[in-house]
Structure 1
């Protein structure tokens, strides 16, 4: 009998222990499920010169609020400590103090690389299907040594806008996207009527930048393409000479004498354009909002001669010291090329009458483009999107040493009262006819490539 009681007691104990084990396993499972469904919220900071002040109604600030609403596990906060008046200096100070924002707008990508500010984003972009919808030329622009270090934002086209009414009044055909260089030149010449307050062009100073790329697909902006400048090319010389033609024949308003400008209506070049005094104006697509509201003429975007499109961007970087790289990437994507973010940006702008879209979409995503083009009444802009694969990226923010190669490097050449004119001054002197640019292109080409090489070495050292 005792033996039977002992066996019963042991059996009962085993059943009780097993039941306790099941409860512990269930509790552990429940805890694991809770952990998976309620991730800890992380905070990431973002700095940009585009946030304005807290008192202003600012689209970018509203986008941060929308991001936080759409991403409950991420708390995005604006870092107000980076000074827009000294952006790179402020970022350097923040880096030295280990207080870098997690996400920040870049004045120049090479500067961020040279200072080791930027996180390698390649693994994340390779796994991101949305990044594959960024135009190929733009993807290449944000890479260094084959890896992505920045995300493109704030996309705009650079090029010419046309006042179609002026051409109609002169019984002329207005130039369109895809025009030839010859058509562009004759259009400027034929619409000009200085005595009656009409200039063909606002200014000719960007012609040497775009002309080489329009004349030769193997050249880019200011001839730069595939790691070299070709300023000794015939195309660059022709661009400078065309600008000289515009200046010496009084086709450009901003180069006219004061007594000639007195024939125009407006206190400054922008007013003259808005008042219908300029046939073709160089600018960026950021002006479309105020063109819609402030001009009373029919206009269109016609880009540069030929089929190539010139694009310019802002760029966001993710700090190499961030503790939350995935969350920072999601925020940077929302504020840049991400379809979800751009659709929200359009929604906010539609709801706020006084706000205009701050950018064009940096994506070929069809849903985004369809929604965007419902808001755009400019055939040239729509046409430009069809030619993005062969786009020219303005290299100011992406190419190492470009500021030196295009403007700042001293040449050692005396022009006028300047004993050591820089590259920009020398090109300007060629446009004004003070020198024969052909005599100097070999020298400035060598100098421009040298400055590019130095900029590249600063990144790779």
Structure 2
């Protein structure tokens, strides 16, 4: 995250903090009154085993886990719950939505409780949850983009793993020629984070800030080039344009008709959750490159555990957030579930770990993951209304796919909504 953006958010954050101080909502008693129960909202396959492990070793602070939906759904619910005074004590928040959660008064400043953890993280990762010099969360996992692919089917069809997006397009055609029922991948119109990562890999910057002035560029040259690339694959029926993880999509995946997923490293755990019988058939490779030789990739996802302003147990909540983000025990659980830990110790631990179940035969999985993580773009500026942008993107892209209109036009429509919302909120905005 850029320091300039943090500084700009600082005034807004300070105002929000004044408005919410002293307004903490429900809870289950205070420290010193006996066992404490914390409410924790988080999604993903690793969360239940993480909470179970914490509860087994912390009898005085018990955690109740609720899956409140994925990152976008959970963030919207957090804002509503905070306004009602009944938000959970701790919540998992994606890095790209954390600025909006701070401005909305959801995430509390926990610098005093977790500041000493900074040395446990690479600067680029720690900065994902740090704004205006204050820490608002403990990074839990990192999601640099990679290519998760069905190695068994690639081998069966004689498809080489593409190293560039031009090769990926050729491979997509080869898959269709070899098996008319199969597609190399899916273009999912609602995947805001996925498209954002591919655009950032190509050089896009959807938000930048200079002093008090924001520049917004959802339809900049790089983003339009990415949209045109996928438009071509859709028009030639070389990829499926449909939502991910629906019953229909899951069935096609299990039948071996969807052969890859360009996504964050967490994709292994997600696919294994819906296609456990395919364990051992898949593998992971670096994401194809837009420019041959340029190995930089973006984060897609990745999240931090935040302590909410509604908690009555800030010390206990911060202790849990620190453990779930930075402890070796928690990292080991994440690794087992296919997540890539955010902490340096956790990333080092992967090198001595078995690969995720989905690619159990890929002995170099974690070495490749470490290489990809090292090539991740360190500074991405996310704007203060990512939730608005995500919703507008999903609506515009889904309509474009349904109506057969250009994907590039959906980027322009998204930008118009984002700019109008920022101007209404009082930001000075220019377009690129």
Q: TM-score, normalised by structure 2?
A: 0.68
In the alignment, the residues of structure 2 paired with residue 446 and residue 163 of structure 1 have an alpha-carbon distance, to the nearest angstrom, of: 38
1:62 aligned to which of 29, 52, 58: 52
User: How many pairs are equivalent?
Assistant: 366
22, 38, 58: which is aligned to 1:46? Answer: 38
Query: How far apart are residue 91 of structure 1 and its match?
Result: 7.1
Instruction: Supply the RMSD in Å over aligned alpha carbons.
Output: 4.3
Aligned to 2:5: none
Q: Which residue of 2 aligns with 1:193?
A: 177
- Over 3 Å counting, the alpha-carbon distance change for 1:113 and 1:291 in structure 2 is closer
Counterpart of 2:367? Answer: 382
Q: What's the offset of the Cα at 1:224? A: 4.3
CA distance in structure 2 between the aligned counterparts of 1:90 and 1:233, rounded to whole angstroms? 32
Give 2:98's aligned residue. Answer: 109
SS of 1:451's equivalent in the other structure is helix
SS in 2 for 1:270: helix
Q: SS at the partner of 1:335?
A: helix
User: Measured at CA, do residues 224 and 172 of structure 1 come closer, stay the same or move farther in structure 2, by a change above 3 Å?
Assistant: same
Partners of 2:337 and 2:148 in 1: how far apart?
Answer: 19
Structure-1 residue corresponding to 2:136: 149
2: CA distance, partners of 1:84 / 1:106: 11
Q: 2:12 corresponds to which residue?
A: none
Q: 1:41 to 1:364 in 2, by over 3 A?
A: farther
**Which shifted more, 42-51 or 166-175?**
42-51
**Counterpart in the other structure of 1:248:** 235
CA contact (8 A) 1:170 1:191 kept: yes
Partner Cα distance (2:176, 2:143) in 1: 28
Aligned to 1:406: 390
CA positional deviation for 1:427: 3.8
**Structure of greater Rg:** 1
- Counterpart of 1:250 in 2: which secondary structure? coil
What are the equivalent positions in structure 2 for 1:124-163 lying under 5 Å apart?
124-128=113-117, 131-163=118-150
Report the counterpart of residue 318 of structure 1 in structure 2: 307
Contact 1:301 1:381 in 2 (8 A): no
CA distance in 1, matches of 2:165, 2:110: 40
Deviation at 1:105, TM superposition (A): 3.5
Aligned to 2:8: none
CA deviations 1:142-177 (Å, max 9, x no partner) are 1222321122225445553222233323333223xx
Q: 1:166 aligns with which of 149, 153, 161?
A: 153
Q: Aligned to 2:326, what secondary structure does the other structure show?
A: coil
Q: Is 1:445 aligned with 2:415?
A: yes
Find the partner of 2:349 among 338, 345, 368: 368
Higher relative contact order (CA 8 A, sep 6+): 2
Q: Give me the whole-angstrom Cα distance separating, in 1, the residues matched to 2:198 and 2:80.
A: 37
Question: Offset at 1:48?
Answer: 2.3
Question: For the structure 1 residues 332 and 381, does the alpha-carbon distance in structure 2 shift closer, same or farther, using more than 3 Å as the test?
Answer: same
User: Kindly tell me: are residues 48 and 285 of structure 1, through their superposed partners in 2, closer, same or farther at Cα, counting changes over 3 Å?
Assistant: farther
Asked if the contact 1:67–1:76 (Cα under 8 Å) also holds between the matched residues in 2, the reply is no
Distance 1:159 1:327 in 2: 36
Q: Which residue of 2 aligns with 1:279?
A: 259
Structure 2: gaps of 5 or more residues: 1-30, 290-294, 428-432
* Equivalent runs, 1:74-85 vs 2, <5 Å: 75-78=60-63, 84=68
Higher mean displacement: 289-298 or 85-94: 85-94
- What SS does the corresponding residue of 1:244 show, helix, strand or coil? helix
Q: 1:301 aligns with which of 284, 302, 308?
A: 284
- What is the distance in 1 between the residues matched to 2:84 and 2:299? 36
Question: What TM-score comes out, normalization by structure 1 length?
Answer: 0.64
Distance 2:180 2:43 in 1: 43
Distance 2:350 2:137 in 1: 23
